[in-house]
Amino acid sequence: MQTPFHLAWFLQGSSVQAWGEPWTGNIGQDWMGLSLFKDLVQSLERACFDYLLIEDSIYIGETWQNSRDIFLKTGMCTPRQDPAVVGSILAAVSSRLGIVPTLSTFAYAPYLTARIIGSIDQISGGRAGWNMVTGSSDLSAQNFGMDKLPDHDIRYDMAEEYVQIVKQLWSSWEPGALLDDRKNGVLFDPGKVHSIDYVGQYYSSRGPLNSGPCPQGRPVIAQAGGSTKGKTFAAGHADTIVAAPVGVANMKQYRDDVRASMVAQGRNPDDCKILFLLSPIVSETESQARWLADQRAVLAERNIEARLARLGWNINIDFSQFDLDQPVGELSTNGHQSTLAQFLTRAGKSTLREAVIAQNSNGSPPDR
């Protein structure tokens, strides 16, 4: 029996992230246009990828010297176009690939998420998914009129209600609701379209979804929780997970944990495809690949401030306050907790400088 092999591409915002590299040509101008994205999805289809996950963060970073400068100067995590817009266009220029935009729970109301993803599911012929995230930075919350994000674990409690609403809205149209019966003048069967009348502690929604039924019935849910709470949440709802544990043993452990949690929550563990985040080095020969891997560490050393700003953006900590040549020590965050935990475990007793260089060298997954 052949073992199915699944591949997804993690698109971190728009493709300007490699700006300045000799191989990215005119990307400083091209990133606004459709052609780069189109080329990406069509290449992924040729390579038989299952889906494209479009990352999102809804703010410009300031996690270096409390300033946006390094983020703007280097195009780091900036710009970020709306993933729903990018996802819709990519659905139109592809035919087989799953399109999975990230919509953050603090920024999009549950009804809006159900409607956006439902609409992409329709225009793509049933290829839409939703990467479900709860956010990580207070700066993003401030773009929506809040002072700060709720605490990490509360965000997952809120997400539990949120996801129930989204799922119920997708189910507010029963199969067979579309009749298209021209003889009797009936397009939809009113008996198969229902309100959901959900009233929760954090969110409420009446329904039904006015965008109509989804070709998949229920679009795919992707999640990447890494903390205990996050993993339980992912195990409860995700159809696919892209996780970032470091090393084969941790990957196996992650998979075992999620599968056990799925069973405990009454799910079949085979109903969720777990993928792991890698940043492979592709080269013609082994020695070239090893040389390129070494270059990652060299570049990290040369661009240490940018690398720290990037890591800080990911885990919501401004590392400019610390001495580069002192041990990393204890840190905490209200952002992605498991990402910080992994960094601290790998850092051990090494200095901040050494830890960041190691993080960027061979074998490390890209930040998230």
Ligand X SMILES: Cc1cc2nc3c(=O)[nH]c(=O)nc-3n(C[C@H](O)[C@H](O)[C@H](O)COP(=O)(O)O)c2cc1C
Report which residue type is found at 104. Answer: S
Report the nearest approach of ligand X to the CB of residue 196 (Å).
Answer: 25
Mask for 21-40, x = binds ligand X (CB under 6 A):
--------------------
Question: Which residues fall within 8 angstroms of residue 111, CB to CB, at 6 or more apart?
Answer: 165, 169, 205, 207, 209
Kind and range of the H or E run holding 133? strand 129-133
Phi, psi of 124 (to 5 degrees): -95, 0
What are the strands, taking DSSP E only, across 34-86? 51-54
Contact between 84 and ligand X by CB under 6 A: the answer reads: no
Stretch that binds ligand X, among 131-139, 185-193, 213-221, 246-254 (CB under 6 A): 131-139
Number of residues in contact with ligand X, rule: CB under 6 A? 24
Report the nearest approach of ligand X to the CB of residue 215 (Å).
Answer: 24
Mask for 85-104, x = binds ligand X (CB under 6 A):
-----------------x-x
Best CA proximity match to 346, nearest among 331, 360, 362, 358: 358
List 119, 122, 124, 136, residue binding ligand X (CB under 6 A):
136
95 vs 332, beta carbon nearer ligand X: 332
Contact between 261 and ligand X by CB under 6 A: the answer reads: no
**How far apart are alpha carbons 295 and 288 in whole angstroms?**
11
List 41, 114, 116, 242, residue binding ligand X (CB under 6 A):
242
Question: Which residues fall within 8 angstroms of residue 92, CB to CB, at 6 or more apart?
Answer: 123, 124
Asked whether the beta carbons of 210 and 122 are under 8 A apart, the reply is: no
Contact between 224 and ligand X by CB under 6 A: the answer reads: yes
Contact between 9 and ligand X by CB under 6 A: the answer reads: no
Q: Residue 36, class by beta-carbon neighbours within 10 Å (0-12 exposed, 13-18 middle, 19+ buried)? A: middle
Mask for 289-318, x = binds ligand X (CB under 6 A):
------------------------------
The β-bridge partners of 173 are: 193
Stretch that binds ligand X, among 86-94, 116-124, 237-245, 302-310 (CB under 6 A): 237-245
Stretch that binds ligand X, among 32-40, 179-187, 332-340, 356-364 (CB under 6 A): 332-340
List 75, 98, 230, 236, residue binding ligand X (CB under 6 A):
230
Report the nearest approach of ligand X to the CB of residue 278 (Å).
Answer: 10
208 vs 245, beta carbon nearer ligand X: 245
The β-bridge partners of 44 are: none
- 119 CB-side CA count, 13 A: 14
DSSP code of 269? G
Asked whether the beta carbons of 158 and 134 are under 8 A apart, the reply is: yes
Contact between 226 and ligand X by CB under 6 A: the answer reads: yes
**How far apart are alpha carbons 348 and 342 in whole angstroms?**
10
Contact between 10 and ligand X by CB under 6 A: the answer reads: yes
Q: How do strand 204-205 and strand 198-199 relate by DSSP bridges? A: antiparallel
Token pair of 38 as six digits: 């189109």
Contact between 61 and ligand X by CB under 6 A: the answer reads: no
Report the nearest approach of ligand X to the CB of residue 58 (Å).
Answer: 8
Phi, psi of 23 (to 5 degrees): -80, -5
Site for ligand X, residues 102 to 121, rule: CB under 6 A: 102, 104
What residues make contact with ligand X under the rule CB under 6 A?
A: 10, 55-57, 102, 104, 131, 133, 135-136, 224-227, 230, 242-244, 277, 336-339, 368
